[in-house]
Copies of this chain bind each other. A is one copy, B any other.
Amino acid sequence: MGKQKLHIVKIGGNIINDKNTLSAFIKDFAQLDGKKILVHGGGKRATELANSIGLEPKMVNGRRITDEANLEIVTMVYAGLLNKTIVAELHQNNCNALGLSGADVNTIQAHKRMVKDIDYGFAGDIDAVNHKAIDVFLQNDMTPVFCAISHDKKGQLLNTNADTIVSEVAIAMSKDYDTSLIYTFEKNGVLRTIEDDNSVIEHINSKYYEQLKEEGIIADGMLPKMLNCFNALQRGVSEVKIANPTILKNQNQLHTTLVL
């Protein structure tokens, strides 16, 4: 008997930022058949809250530098406001959502990133995903909804990249499930021309990825995302897609599929 199918879906910040887009996504996700997990990014609310109390968020290489005050902000916004708002709206749509941070039943254990050139502060790099605990939830028809907060099991919460969380959770669940990973964001997929949402590159394998990097078509923020995707495929995830969230209700929609 083959493994049971499991969908793991990531929604990016730009989808979360718009109330109507988020609601449409939640409806579609709720209707997705079978076992599923949602991972959400942060969006602009953390920055807005930080600004409103006079904190200046620090960014280096596209990553937030998380000092203690900013860790409190992201814990409040990601694990509190965003996570519970999404969970409540999923229940409205009859999806039995369970909001989680990585601290909850030690689902995602990480360590504070080592200081080399840059001190990222309370940024966490993942050591282990507790796939048995997550499986308890799935087996009881609960739908885990992860925010991008982990911990070190020594009492310290850590800010962790949501793209990394989704790929590490997908890899861990691949032991027991036939895992399909879908990164959703505001575009239709990986684009050949950034201004043209129809210029989707439909299939990318490792070799073609190297070529697209050399041509400068895959660059900037898309680079770590793609690395996470190929890492997931190499470590047991069956399928990785990069797509607009409308793919959840229309599988034939234009999107990017990654293969090894």
Contact between chains at B91 and A83 (CB < 8 Å): no
Residues of B within 8 A of A96 (CB): 105-106
Question: Could you list some 7 contacts between A and B, CB below 8 A?
Answer: A49-B53, A49-B76, A75-B80, A80-B83, A85-B157, A87-B104, A96-B105
Identify which of A148-156, A228-236, A242-250 touches chain B.
A148-156
Residues of B within 8 A of A156 (CB): 88
**Whole-angstrom distance between the Cβ of A96 and the nearest chain B Cβ:** 6
Instruction: From B53, B54, B99, B153, give the contact of A104 (CB < 8 A).
Output: B99
Number of interface residues of A (CB under 8 A): 40
Counted per complex, copies of this chain come to 2
Please name the residue on chain B nearest to A71 by beta carbon: B81
**Whole-angstrom distance between the Cβ of A133 and the nearest chain B Cβ:** 8
A182 at interface (Cβ–Cβ under 8 A)?
Answer: no
A217 at interface (Cβ–Cβ under 8 A)?
Answer: no
Which A residues from 57 to 98 make CB contacts under 8 A with B? 72, 75-81, 83-85, 87-89, 91-92, 96-98
Contact between chains at A98 and B91 (CB < 8 Å): no
A136 at interface (Cβ–Cβ under 8 A)?
Answer: yes
Contact between chains at A84 and B91 (CB < 8 Å): no
**Whole-angstrom distance between the Cβ of A124 and the nearest chain B Cβ:** 11
A191 at interface (Cβ–Cβ under 8 A)?
Answer: no
Contact between chains at B103 and A91 (CB < 8 Å): yes
> What 8 A-B pairs have minimum CB-CB distances, sorted nearest first?
A80-B80, A76-B76, A92-B155, A76-B80, A79-B80, A88-B103, A88-B151, A52-B53
